[in-house]
Amino acid sequence: MSDPTTLTTDHAVQVASATPPAPRRPRRLSDRGLAVAFISPALLLLLGMSVFPLLWALYLSFTDYSATRGGQAHFIWFENYTAILTSAQVHLRALTTLIYVVGAVTLQTVLGFAIAYLISRRTHGRGLLTTLFLVPMMLSPVVVGLFWRFMFDAQFGVINSMLGSLGLGQVEWLTQQRTALMSLIVVDTWQWTPFIMLIALAGLTAVPKYLYEAASIDRASEWFRFRTITLPLVWPLLLIAVLFRAIEAFRLFDLVYILTSGGPGVSTETLSFHVYKVAFLGFNTGTASAYGILMVLVVMVLTQLYLRYLNKLKED
């Protein structure tokens, strides 16, 4: 469905060949019924699988409930919340997560957009290039994590092996405080740069040709064309992509679990990883629920702010 005009002709043919339709029923009633019938199943599933569990977690977050110890849950109201918000351990994980999110998303946005821009300027092999670049994004985080762990291995890993043949020293990628977090960022960037690229490319290829043609008749400079035509059209899309990535990065768990399991020490433990430890190592279900609710709140507020900003941008 690339070109709306062809759609219209198709449609015209279809209508022309269609058999005389049945008599119309009252439109309003059927619309209302349709909307309800079409929307409610999806909403019901979400209510059952997302809202209900979340409310349950909300209830548990005010208690000292433990999933294994069982027994009655005692209301302790905001004790869990105050404990979490004042815990130095939590602050440490929040900082780690922040560095990770900002680092990874910035890197992949810059890279992703650059690749998309370069691809969009090619006339040949665009499809093939795009497909090749998309491969990392399609892989499971498990596969990605395991494989990078293998490549990062200080002794047998191919990365140190290549550094070695270049005469450079070996790097302890996953076991030094700074490099471990950096490695996480690198891997996430490797996997998700294609996502930004895909969306940016969609924006870039959709910039109507005639705009460029008009600009090139006017002999506008490349940079000027980029700044005045390309960027404004792609910008909103890019921001959506960034939002998605930021939220996904904020809840990162699987890469940490496989690549470093939070190490060295706890220096790559993200908030999600910490929640997991609270929830499944000590089975402090109440605390973990409160922790989770706080994370959801952060995500919701960020999403809301972002959407608002996006809407404003669209209106301008």
Partner 1 sequence: MRYPKPVGRLSVPGGKVQLATAAILVATTVAACGGGDTQASAPKAPATIPELTKDPLTLSFIWFDWPPAHALEAFANAEYAKERPNVTIKVNTVPNANWHDAMFTQFAAHRTDFDIPILDSQHIGEAVTNGNILDITDFVKKNIDVKAYNPYLLAAYGQFPQAETGKRDENASMYGLPLLGDTWTMIYRKDLIGDKPPQTWDQMISVAEKCQADHPGVSGLAFHQANGSDAAAVTYNTVNGIYGGNLWDSKTRKIDGVLNDTAGHEAMDVLVNKMKPLTAKGSGNWFIDEVNAAVAQGKACIAFNWIAASGGLLDPKQSTLGTTREQILDKLGFATLPSQKTNLVPLGGMGMHVSAYSSKANQAEALNFMKWFEQADIQKKWAAAGGVPARTDALQSPEFLNAGPFNQVYADSVPRMRDMWNVPEYARLVDIENTNVNAALNGAKKPKDALDDIAKEQQSVLDSGSRKGGGGL
Partner 2 sequence: MAVSVDEAASTDPVRDHTPPARRLRGRGRGRSVLEVALLTVLAVVMLFPVLWMIETSIKENRDVYAVPAKFFDFKVTMGHFKDVFVAPGGGRSALSVAFLNSVVVAGVSTALATVLGVPAAWAYSRFAVKAKKDQLFFILSTRFMPPVVVVIPIFLMYRQVGLIDTKLGLILIYAAFNVPFTIWMMKGFVDEVPAEYEDAAMLDGYTRLQAFRRFTLPLLLPGIAATAVFALIFSWNEFVFAIFLTSSDSVRTAPPAIAGLIGGTTVDWGLVAAASVVFALPVLVFAYLVRKHLVAGVTLGAVRR
75: which strand partners? Answer: 63
* Residue number with CB closer to partner 1 (136 or 264): 264
In the list 98, 232, 282, 305, the residue contacting partner 2 (rule: CB under 8 A) is 232
In the list 13, 85, 95, 139, the residue contacting partner 2 (rule: CB under 8 A) is 139
CB 15 to partner 1: min, Å:
18
3-class secondary-structure state, position 75: strand
Judge contact between 278 and 290, C-beta under 8 A: no
Residue 8 binds to partner 1 (criterion: CB under 8 A): no
List the single partner that 6 binds among partner 2, partner 1, none, CB under 5 to 8 Å by kind. Answer: none
Distance CA 10, CA 36 (A): 30
In the list 135, 168, 226, 309, the residue contacting partner 2 (rule: CB under 8 A) is 135
Residue 136 binds to partner 2 (criterion: CB under 8 A): yes
CB 40 to partner 1: min, Å:
6
- 63 φ/ψ angles, rounded to the nearest 5 degrees: -125, 175
CB 86 to partner 2: min, Å:
20
Which of the residues 68 through 97 are near partner 1 (CB under 8 A)?
A: 68-73, 76, 78-84, 87, 89-90
Buried b (16+ CB within 10 A) or exposed e, 68-94: eeeeeeeebeeebbeebeeeeebeebb
Three-state secondary structure string covering 144-191: HHHHHHHHHCCCCCHHHHHHHHCCCCCCCCCCCHHHHHHHHHHHHHHH
Binding mask 12-41 for partner 2 (x = CB under 8 A): --xx--x-xxxxxx-x--xx--xx-xxx-x
User: What would the two tokens of residue 292 be?
Assistant: 């989770």
CB 90 to partner 1: min, Å:
7
Whose tokens are 């093939």? That residue is 128
- 75 φ/ψ angles, rounded to the nearest 5 degrees: -70, 125
Write out the residues near partner 1 by the rule CB under 8 A: 28, 31-32, 35-36, 39-40, 43, 47, 51-52, 55-56, 59-60, 64-73, 76, 78-84, 87, 89-90, 153-156, 160, 170-177, 257, 260-267, 277-284, 286-288
